[in-house]
Amino acid sequence: MTAQTARVQPRRGRRLNTALTRSPELIEAAQRLRYRVFSEEYGSDLGAVTPGLDADEFDEVCEHLIVTDTDTGELVATTRILHQNEAAAVGGFYSSGEFDLNALNSLPGSVAELGRTCVHPDYRNGGTIALLWAAVAEYLNHRKVDYLIGCASISMADGGMKAWRIARHLQNEYLAAPEFRVTPLRALPHLTHSEHEHSDDVPALIRAYMRLGARVCGEPCWDPEFRCADLLVLLEVSNLTARYGRHFMGRSV
């Protein structure tokens, strides 16, 4: 399937275009951006087989959303979506390698997973993230997805104190109902647990999740390869906040 244009938006002299794609060339460009952000910038051990590419078996079955600067042709943001209908081909969702997802198996309706979301450092602003989310929302609407899940990552570069602080804040403010709770397969070590909670350093992508109405599904998982703590977040698509529902979906919710 070739890339299909979703929209073009000018911002600060740039024209940003979003597309949904399975094009090998564009997926490779997304993998290069992912490597730059996750490995070169954040120091994650991706175990890259091809130098400079963050690639795994999930890429072949996912649909990839990309944001491109049409003035330069550069791919500046990306995420991938795995629908439950395609998940069986790779043994389940990516997050099943970090969490026991049994509680979610009985959810009514369809589930899709968002993953590997990243933005070029020169384009990390509200406009780029909003544009990426608009494309995600269009996908959810088109595929009639009822629940969106994904791993929200917090850096452990400081040893874990920041991760614990943010995780506790999110659990206190945005904890999902009991029927949506999951258990991490690798619990985050408690050695650096801080009792002080602050919300001012919550990563921008996680803040975007919460503004859309997402909830965290329990305790964080330790991801040693990515050197981060992951929270499973879940968004009930029908419960999108009215503001973002109208803006992204073009309808009231």
Q: What pLDDT does 45 receive?
A: 66
Q: What pLDDT does 224 receive?
A: 84
Q: What pLDDT does 239 receive?
A: 79
Nearest-10 Cα torsion for 71, 72, 76, 78: 80
Domains of the chain and any CATH numbers: 4-249 (3.40.630.30)
**Which of 168-180 are b and which e, b meaning 16 or more Cβ less than 10 Å from the residue's Cβ?**
bbbbeebebeeeb
Distance CA(165)–CA(216), nearest Å, equals 14
Beta strands at 99-100 and 183-184: parallel, antiparallel or unpaired? antiparallel
Beta strands at 14-21 and 63-69: parallel, antiparallel or unpaired? antiparallel
Q: What pLDDT does 208 receive?
A: 82
Distance CA(141)–CA(81), nearest Å, equals 13
Q: What pLDDT does 10 receive?
A: 42
pLDDT means per 10 residues, the chain with 253 residues, are 46 78 96 91 73 93 96 95 96 96 91 95 88 89 94 85 89 94 90 53 84 93 87 90 54 35
Q: Residue 168: helix, strand or coil by DSSP? A: helix
Longest dimension (CA), the chain: 50
Beta bridge partners of 59: none
| Count of other CB atoms within 10 angstroms of residue 49 | 8
